[in-house]
Amino acid sequence: MTQFRPTGYSSLPTIIKNLLIINGLVFFAQKTFGGQYSSFNFEDIFALHAFQSDLFRPWQLITHMFLHGDFGHIFGNMLALWMFGSILENIWGPKQFLLFYFLCGVGAAMIHLGILSFELMDATKYYHQLILSGAHSADATDFLNIYKAKVDVATLGASGAVFGILIAFVYLFPNTYIYIYFFIPMKAKWLGILYFSYELFFALRNSAGDNVARWAHVGGAIVGFILVYIWKKNNRRF
């Protein structure tokens, strides 16, 4: 039985170690210099926003991956990056792993924004109609405020890239046993299927009040699978 347990900090490969450090430093800066009483808003500038938002900037496709909402958010992402990313970087090397990481993160962001644009299509048309007509009724004002608030919602975190890493690990080592909570053994392929199905279910359900970017998770997994499938098929560094 092949077993997988996370390695120690001293054996961390270069890219993983630096990603952990950078994410930690950015999170510290968020909590130290950000917040509602600060004149500098990290999320407005660096988090990902809808294409329809006035806050959207192209660099957010990358910078959003280094911001996190709270300690639980960054801890979960960095733990998964450490556990599954270390072995992938050791196999692929730092350059290929870094390329994979960013392609998964940017791909996840693009899929998330694409789905969001589709969901907002009718509302966006109505929004522009109201703007052009100069409507000032109470209902029109309420709609404009609600629409603006929705498109300005910030998406942040490395989850899209991390899901790509998880799926790559699952594809390459499907029968490896992973210890859930360091205690319960489960084959990687079942963990991957269950986790992906969970995210896809809630992405399709699109429940009100769910503030998790499910399509970014699903998108990162899809991009990660496509990349690792093509690379393995072409024997790239395998």
In a domain, 83, yes or no: yes
Q: What is the CA radius of gyration of the chain?
A: 20
Whether the pLDDT of residue 214 is over 60: the answer is yes
216-235 tens-digit pLDDT: 999 999 999 999 999 988 87
pLDDT confidence of residue 51: 92
Token duo for residue 141: 């004002």
Q: Label the pairing between strands 184-187 and 177-180.
A: antiparallel
Q: How many domains does the chain have?
A: 1
Q: What order of strands is seen across the sheet that includes strand 184-187?
A: 3-4, 177-180, 184-187
pLDDT tens per residue, range 88-130: 999 999 999 999 999 999 999 999 999 988 888 877 777 777 7
Residue 2 has pLDDT above 50, yes or no: no
Q: How far is CA 66 from CA 44, 235, 236, in A?
A: 14, 31, 28
In the three-class reduction of DSSP (H, G, I as helix; E, B as strand; rest coil), residue 155 is classed as strand
pLDDT of 15 reads: 97
| Distance (Å, whole) CA 224 – CA 187 | 19
pLDDT of residue 146: 80
132 is a domain residue: yes
Q: Give the model's pLDDT for residue 3.
A: 47
Mean pLDDT of the 16-44 span = 86
3 falls within a domain:
no
Share of the chain above pLDDT 70, in %: 85
8 Å CB contact between 85 and 98: no
Note whether 57 and 50 are within 8 A (CB). no
pLDDT of residue 192 exceeding 60, the answer is yes
17 burial type by CB count under 10 A (0-12 exposed, 13-18 middle, 19+ buried): middle
pTM (predicted TM-score): 0.86
The per-residue pLDDT for range 47-67, each reduced to its tens digit, is 999 998 989 999 999 999 999
What H or E segment, with its residue span, contains residue 236?
Answer: none
Residue for token pair 């450090």: 21
Asked if residue 120 belongs to a domain, the reply is yes
66 close to 26: Cβ distance less than 8 angstroms: yes
CA distance 178 to 3: 6
pLDDT recorded at residue 7: 47
> What's the confidence (pLDDT) of residue 8?
45
Residue 206, in any domain of the structure: yes
As given in the structure block, the two tokens for residue 150 are 């929705």
- Whether 2 is covered by a domain: the verdict is no
The DSSP annotation for 43-104 comes to: HHHHSB--TTSTT--TTHHHHGGG--SSHHHHHHHHHHIIIIIHHHHHHH-HHHHHHHHHHH
Local structure of 182: helix, strand or coil = coil
Domain assignment present for 171: yes
Domain limits at 15? 11-28+42-233
Predicted local distance difference test score (pLDDT) of residue 238: 53
The rounded mean pLDDT for the chain is: 86
Q: How confident is the model at residue 42 (pLDDT cuts 50, 70, 90)?
A: confident
Structure tokens at 92: 């692929």
**Which CATH number covers residue 158?**
1.20.1540.10
**Alpha carbon distance 31, 27 (integer Å):** 6
Look at residue 145 and tell me if it is in a domain: yes
